[in-house]
Amino acid sequence: MSTTLKTSRCLDFQPQPNGRVEITHRLVGKKYVVAPDVYKLLDSLQQPRSRQEAIEALSQHYRREDVLTTFDFLERHQMLVAPEHDETFVVQPVKAPLFGLAGYDPTAPETAPLVVFCGIPYGGGNAEDNNCRHFPLHLRHQLSRQHATLTKQIDSIDFRFLNAETDFGPLRAGLHSGRFRDWGDLYVGPGESREVVHRRIAQAARQLYQRGHVPFFLGGDHSIAWPLILACSEAVPEFQVLHFDAHIDAYQTHESAAFHDPAAAPHHGNFMTRALQLDGLMRVSQLGIRGLVNNRPHKHPKQHIFWADELPGLLQDPNAVVLDPDLPVYLTFDIDFLDPQVAPGTATPVAGGLSYSQTCALLQRLLGNARIVGLDFVEVNPLRDQSGITLQVAANLLLTMLNFIR
Percent of the chain with pLDDT over 90: 84
Pick the CATH number of 4-81 from 3.40.50.800, 3.40.50.720, 3.40.366.30, 3.40.1280.10: 3.40.366.30
Tally the residues of the chain: 406
Residue 312 CA to residue 300 CA, distance in Å, equals 25
- What is the amino acid identity at position 157? I
Q: What pLDDT, on the 0 to 100 scale, is given for residue 263?
A: 65
pLDDT tens by residue, 160-195:
999 988 899 999 999 999 999 999 999 998 889 999
Residue 314 has pLDDT above 80, yes or no: yes
Q: Is 194 strand, coil or helix?
A: helix
pLDDT tens by residue, 116-149:
999 999 999 998 899 999 999 999 999 999 999 9
Query: Which residues, in sequence order, are CB contacts of 293 under 8 Å at separation 6+?
Result: 247, 251
Number of helices (H), then strands (E), belonging to the chain: the values are 12, 16
Kindly report whether the peptide bond that precedes residue 220 is cis, defined as omega within 30 degrees of 0.
Answer: yes
pLDDT tens by residue, 61-93:
999 999 999 999 999 889 999 999 888 899 999
pLDDT tens by residue, 229-267:
999 999 999 999 999 999 998 876 544 444 455 667 888
Q: Which of 84-88, 226-230, 398-402 has the lowest mean pLDDT?
A: 84-88
Domain boundaries, the chain: 4-81, 91-402
Query: Which residues, in sequence order, are CB contacts of 406 under 8 Å at separation 6+?
Result: 170, 371, 372
Alpha helices (H) along 13-93: 36-44, 51-59, 64-76
pLDDT tens by residue, 259-298:
455 667 888 888 999 999 999 999 999 999 999 988 887 7
Residue 229 CA to residue 241 CA, distance in Å, equals 8
Q: What pLDDT, on the 0 to 100 scale, is given for residue 259?
A: 41
Strand partners, 102: 181
| Domain 91-402 bears CATH identifier 3.40.50.10680 | no
pLDDT tens by residue, 148-169:
999 999 999 999 999 988 899 9
Q: By C-alpha distance, which of 145, 198, 138 is closest to 381?
A: 138
Q: What pLDDT, on the 0 to 100 scale, is given for residue 322?
A: 96
Are 31 and 23 contacting, i.e. CB atoms less than 8 angstroms apart?
A: yes
